[in-house]
């Protein structure tokens, strides 16, 4: 059993509740939407066009029938926005985009964009097509209900053969829509790991967008539901958004937890450097930063200004 009995029961109860409220997509609905996407943007469709037509099909944001529009914005009866978000950031997250004001094709980074020729843009999109097709072939050969090892191999293969698309959120979403039984629809690794940890699962070692997917496949299989239903339920249960926890040490280094009583009873956080005194009187972060900088340098690190700045 992947999940503990208590967690499994909680998820099943939440599934029943959301399903009764009409908040989950049925198997028939999911199959219909996936098939619609495949017919428009599957490997066979990408192979069927080239040149400017391929650019228009894949990367024309202003075209509501383009791949990038469907992945980021499409939300209607034909294809609802129920398959994981890749919203946010600039259009450069797709590698290239066409500037609305001038019609020029652009690439680069947000602070370092550059215009490229039509022929260069076509070369970009051809490379993207090749890697999308390679990625689909890798996923076709991935065993159903694969192990952590299977997904680690998939991650390595994606990194080696299709990294320019597979390591981006839009590439992961493309693959997940073609293989919804093999990939979860969390397109950000932080979200993938967050929800696993909330389920008391230690994620597999390693980095990447594919390496943890086998855990979600196993959990969905165990609970008898689709991956899409599972992630929808987890978003409701866990609030949907990852967060970080900060751990403050409770020892001064001489005895274990010997400063916990001070922090608990005084409702404070203590992090050392006692000669700095009481810092609660400072009204702003800037004032505190300046005072700390001087005190750190004078009291603890008079000969090491860089260390004083880092500690501050």
CA-based nearest residue to 43, from 137, 127, 125, 123: 137
Q: Is 108 left (phi over 0), alpha (psi -120 to 50) or beta?
A: left
| pLDDT tens per residue across span 190-246 | 999 999 999 999 999 999 999 999 999 999 999 999 999 999 999 999 986 787 788
| pLDDT value of residue 96 | 92
Q: In what order do the strands lie in the sheet with 112-116?
A: 96-98, 105-109, 112-116
| pLDDT value of residue 240 | 66
- Establish if 253 belongs to a structural domain: no
Q: Which ranges of 73-111 does DSSP label H, i.e. alpha helix?
A: none
> What domain range is 279 assigned to?
260-311
Distance CA 224, CA 226 (A): 7
Kindly list the distances between the CA atom of residue 57 and the CA atoms of 145, 215, 277, in Å, as whole numbers in the listed order: 33, 34, 64
The 8-class DSSP code of residue 116 comes to E
- Domain boundary residue, one of 238, 273, 293: 238
| pLDDT value of residue 270 | 80
- Establish if 66 belongs to a structural domain: yes
What number of other Cβ atoms are within 10 A of residue 286's Cβ?
9
The residue ranges of the chain whose pLDDT is under 70 are: 240
Q: What proportions of the chain, in percent to the nearest 5, are helix, strand and coil?
A: 55, 5, 40
- Based on the domain organization, do 149 and 234 belong to the same domain? yes
The residue written with tokens 């001064």 in the block is 252
- Domain boundary residue, one of 238, 272, 302: 238
- Based on the domain organization, do 200 and 86 belong to the same domain? yes
Distance CA 215, CA 195 (A): 11
**Which pTM value belongs to this model?**
0.81
| pLDDT value of residue 274 | 83
For residue 201, the Cα-to-chain-centroid distance in whole angstroms is: 17
Kindly list the distances between the CA atom of residue 136 and the CA atoms of 142, 177, 213, 274, in Å, as whole numbers in the listed order: 10, 11, 15, 59
Domain count, the chain: 2
């Amino acid at each position: 059993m992947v999940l503990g009995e208590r967690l499994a029961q909680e998820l099943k109860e939440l599934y029943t509740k959301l399903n009764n409220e009409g908040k989950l997509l049925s198997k028939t609905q999911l199959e219909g939407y996936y098939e619609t996407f495949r017919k428009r943007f599957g490997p066979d469709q990408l192979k069927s066009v080239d040149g400017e037509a391929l650019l228009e099909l894949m990367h024309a944001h202003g075209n509501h029938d383009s791949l990038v529009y469907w992945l980021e914005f499409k939300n209607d009866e034909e294809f609802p926005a129920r398959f994981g978000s890749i919203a946010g950031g600039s259009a450069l997250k797709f590698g290239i985009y066409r500037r609305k004001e001038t019609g020029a094709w652009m690439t680069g980074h947000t602070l370092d964009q550059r215009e490229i020729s039509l022929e260069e843009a076509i070369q970009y999109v051809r490379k993207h097509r090749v890697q999308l097709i390679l990625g689909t072939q890798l996923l076709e050969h991935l065993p159903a209900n694969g192990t952590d090892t299977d997904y680690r191999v998939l991650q390595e293969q994606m990194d080696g053969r299709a990294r320019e698309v597979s390591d981006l959120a839009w590439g992961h979403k493309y693959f997940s829509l073609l293989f919804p039984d093999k990939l979860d629809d969390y397109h950000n690794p932080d979200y993938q790991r967050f929800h696993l940890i909330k389920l008391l699962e230690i994620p597999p070692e390693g980095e990447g967008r594919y390496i943890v997917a086998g855990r979600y496949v196993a959990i969905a299989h165990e609970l008898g539901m689709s991956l899409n239903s599972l992630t929808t339920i987890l978003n409701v249960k866990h609030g949907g958004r990852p967060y970080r926890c900060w751990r403050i040490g409770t020892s001064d280094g001489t005895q274990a937890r010997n400063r916990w009583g001070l922090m608990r009873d005084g409702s404070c956080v203590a992090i050392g450097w006692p000669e700095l005194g009481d810092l609660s009187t400072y009204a702003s972060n800037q004032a505190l930063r300046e005072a700390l900088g001087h005190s750190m340098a004078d009291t603890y690190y008079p000969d090491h200004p860089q260390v004083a700045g880092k500690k501050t």
